[in-house]
Amino acid sequence: MEFKTEYEFILPRGYVDADGNIHREGVMRLASAKDEIAPLNDLRVQRNRAYLIIVLLSRVVTRLGNLSEVNSTVVENLFAADLRFLEEMYNRINEDEAQVEVTCPECGARFQKEFGRLGE
């Protein structure tokens, strides 16, 4: 089984560029540790923690329509529905919840145990 690192998407509304073109189809890659840490050094994030998702998405969205690059200005100008869509997608593909099979030490029963997110 191949390990998937990139995920295609279609935005609900789409990014409208300066020429009025709508860009809806794109690709998001899995986030690295650096993707999650580097934005914390960004002054915009330090001034306003809500800006974190803007910087983070601008790092992991690798393609949107035929734009030459996806940067924070592009992400800032997405419609709110598209920003929510990408944030939910980011969380879904980078989910750190895991299920493992465990055995009860008392009765020997085997079952799936789900571990939550770090910090919860």
* Cα gap 56→38, rounded to integer Å: 9
**1 lies in some domain:** no
**120 lies in some domain:** no
Domain residues for the domain of 44 are: 6-115
Q: What's the pTM?
A: 0.78
Residue of 91, 111, 116, 87 whose CA lies nearest to 101: 111
**93 lies in some domain:** yes
Give residue 5's pLDDT: 93
Do 24 and 86 touch, CB atoms closer than 8 A? no
Give residue 2's pLDDT: 77
**33 lies in some domain:** yes
Phi-psi region of 118 (alpha: psi -120 to 50; beta: other; left: phi over 0): beta
**40 lies in some domain:** yes
**17 lies in some domain:** yes
**65 lies in some domain:** yes
pLDDT by residue, tens only, the chain of 120 residues: 678 899 999 999 999 999 999 999 999 999 999 999 999 999 999 999 999 999 999 999 999 999 999 999 999 999 999 999 999 999 999 986 555 566 777 788 876 655 444 333
* Cα gap 59→70, rounded to integer Å: 8
Give residue 104's pLDDT: 75
**30 lies in some domain:** yes
Give residue 115's pLDDT: 47
CA distances from 44 to 15, 21, 36, 51, 55 (A): 22, 28, 15, 6, 9
Kind of pairing between the strands at 98-103 and 61-64: unpaired
Provide the domain count of the chain.
1
